[in-house]
Structure 1
Amino acid sequence: MITILYPYRNREESRVKRSLDSLAQQSNQDFKVVFVDYGSVFDKAATIKILTQNYDFVTYLYSYHSYQPWSRAKAINIGLQHVTTPFVFVADVDMIFSHDFIEKLIAIQNPNQAVFFKVGFLDHKESIQVKPFDQYKISFFSQGGAKGLSLFPLNALHEIHGFDEFLHFWGAEDEDVHNRLENAGYQSLFYDQEILMLHQWHVTYRKAESKGLNRDLQLTNISRINQAHLLDNKKQKRAIVNLKQWGQSISKREFDELENSRTPFFIGNRKESISHFLFVILPNFKGGVLNVVFQKDDFQNSLKYYVKKRFGKTVPEYYSLKEINDKVLLHLISFYKDCNYFYIIGNDLKSIQLKIKKE
């Protein structure tokens, strides 16, 4: 038996259904699915949970990462804690599988190899069609550098502590895990003999990224930062990462503890205030929930500030809320990724709230 592991957050129901339907039609039914919902909004999560209950091979898991940035690496690692079969295929809800996909996985599984697959990409019009696998019109194919759909020996992933949980938002986690498996002595192979999967179209993260503050969490240049981390792991020939812990989900009790923290303190956007928070207040706080709201200093909009600046007088230096967002988020994923935290952009884009539990 093989486990298919889906990392998921807030994607449309129809996309998920097309993917799961293609598994329901497999010629070999010797598989099960672990479906990890990494903090979808509650209405969406309820809808997807009901959908997955229509498939007896699916186990649905919800982790309360609702107010944290997306991390495919962390979502996969949560799922790995629930995999009991010798091999696991890391999937994606964008995938439509050929009817003999499971049969082919079973035939090529090898305890010393990780295998990634050539994928056919569909355009938007073709993606919303429901038709036999071999009747889809493929726009283009993935190449050997795309390693996101992979079959792994479970023991090998546990040996290297899974996917690197520094990696958030978009990019690098798949190539990185293959590199580290090779450093640990495993082979990484590209299966391109035939097309066993089709990718449903969607807007890419890079195209969706905006330059200003956005309610959907974003971090400027994160793809480049992730790439730099990938290259450093490769240069250092690292195999094992996540040295403290990995694959930790967030329970409802832990979520509610932050939800019930009602009294924040406020920090303005002066540069020295942000630096003091990041390098003094945040690292030294212990034993509870730190609840802070960042907002624009009233003085920055005052006539006095404008006049003093106009005449070259000394005035405070300020960060924009977007700059604060980038600094705080980078700190969180770098130094506090194992903490339970909420990170929320205000509806009016005029405030940022951070709640973080530190032992």
Structure 2
Amino acid sequence: MTKSITIIYAYRNRDVARVKATLVSLQMQTQQNFHVVFVDYGSEGSYAQKVQKVVSGFVFATYYYVAHTGLLWNKSKALNYGIHKTTTPYVFLADVDVVFHPSLTAVMQQLITPMGFYLFTIAYLPKEINTKEAEQFPIENCKPTHIGNTFGIGLFPLEALQKVEGLDTFFHFYGSEDADLNARLQEAGYFLKYHKPLLIQHLWHPRYPFKKDSQIMVQPRLTNVQRINQRHYLRNREKGIIKPSRRDRMGNVISKEESDFLQKPTKIIKIYNILSHVEHFLGEELPSYTGEIIKVEFLEDPYFQTLKYKLKKLLGKQTQLYCSIKEVNDMVLKEIVFNYRDANYSFEISENLKSIIFCVRMN
């Protein structure tokens, strides 16, 4: 059968059992009119090996590994890479947390149109339903916690996605990239319709803990990123933007060979958490290193934790202004999001949360 639909997954460091469950539900489809493009965007090696083995066990699926673990999570870049690899006229953007009714792809075959795109109704399963049980659709005697519409799981013409140049890669971590894509497609003249019959079930997982964005953790988090993403989405809507601005070629990712360059820095710098030093380096010094591969370690000044410093600060005596490692984290992450998101970079927080290593190849 000619494949008319490519189903794209974006993945990173997730439970492999979920991947198996969603692919098993595709294996059970009554119409095998699809191909799966599975994009692993920067998983750690232990996850990558396991998920590649699972994906490779399904004849309809192809696994792609973006082998650069130091990149920030960017769902838009992962999906755009999948779109770039697509050769079918239609695309279904999926999620590793969902399982499908056996008739999904047959229904999609009836819905496809070059004039618009479809989002779907989705049922959210309770916590006690495990991945094995979720492979059976519908699950007997199981009441969903709630039912709603999807924002990012949908059926799109490939030509439409190419016309708007895919998802906007400004969006990092989580939030607004799906709504932004839908709005730009409509701005470009494509209609949006909702398919109401229930064909998708969502496995339970903890909600993204936005409240932890204000804490320093080994996993990178940026304070207020949800609002920053929301502001970008609203700006795009206000200006009627169709194609994202300020970004690299759609579908471009950093290769393993390119990422290996970061292991051979041409300049190594250490900067203590003195506010003026951090601000000056990021705003003035770093942009001047044209053509260099920079490795900078931000770390706590030993003086920062001394009784002498704390007493001087308490007494209001003049001293250098310091910033916490979390504040350094946020300053560096904002630089990546706003200025270096398309560069070859890596970002790593130490296990003891006392230092940050940022590497970047400057153009």
Normalization by structure 2: what TM-score?
0.94
Determine if the alignment matches structure 1 residue 143 to structure 2 residue 138. Answer: no
- The residue correspondences of 1:165-180 to structure 2 (distance < 5 A) are 165-180=169-184
Residue of structure 2 equivalent to 1:289: 293
Determine if the alignment matches structure 1 residue 28 to structure 2 residue 31. Answer: yes
Q: Which moved more, 1:20-29 or 1:277-286?
A: 277-286
Residue of structure 2 equivalent to 1:206: 209
- The residue correspondences of 1:1-359 to structure 2 (distance < 5 A) are 1-130=4-133, 132-136=136-140, 137-144=142-149, 146-192=150-196, 194-206=197-209, 209-242=212-245, 243-261=247-265, 264-359=268-363
Task: Quote the offset at 1:208 in angstroms.
Answer: 7.3
Q: Which runs of 5+ in 1 are unaligned?
A: none
Amino acid at match of 2:138: D
Q: Deviations over 1:58-104 (max 9, x none)?
A: 11001123112211111101111100000000000011010011001
Task: Quote the offset at 1:262 in angstroms.
Answer: 8.8
Residues 184 and 243, structure 2, Cα contact 8 Å, conserved in 1: yes
> Would the alpha carbon gap of residues 328 and 114 (structure 1) be closer, same or farther in structure 2, given more than 3 Å must change?
same
Amino acid at match of 1:66: T
Q: Which moved more, 1:262-271 or 1:61-70?
A: 262-271
> Would the alpha carbon gap of residues 21 and 236 (structure 1) be closer, same or farther in structure 2, given more than 3 Å must change?
same
Q: What is the distance in 1 between the residues matched to 2:207 and 2:268?
A: 35
Q: Which runs of 5+ in 2 are unaligned?
A: none
Q: Secondary structure at the match of 1:290?
A: strand
Q: Secondary structure at the match of 1:60?
A: strand
Q: Secondary structure at the match of 1:279?
A: helix
Q: Secondary structure at the match of 2:317?
A: coil
Amino acid at match of 1:81: H
Q: What is the distance in 2 between the residues matched to 1:325 and 1:185?
A: 40
Name the % identity. 36
Residues 93 and 155, structure 2, Cα contact 8 Å, conserved in 1: yes
Task: Quote the offset at 1:24 in angstroms.
Answer: 0.5
Residues 245 and 338, structure 1, Cα contact 8 Å, conserved in 2: no
Residues 115 and 190, structure 1, Cα contact 8 Å, conserved in 2: yes
Residues 119 and 153, structure 2, Cα contact 8 Å, conserved in 1: yes
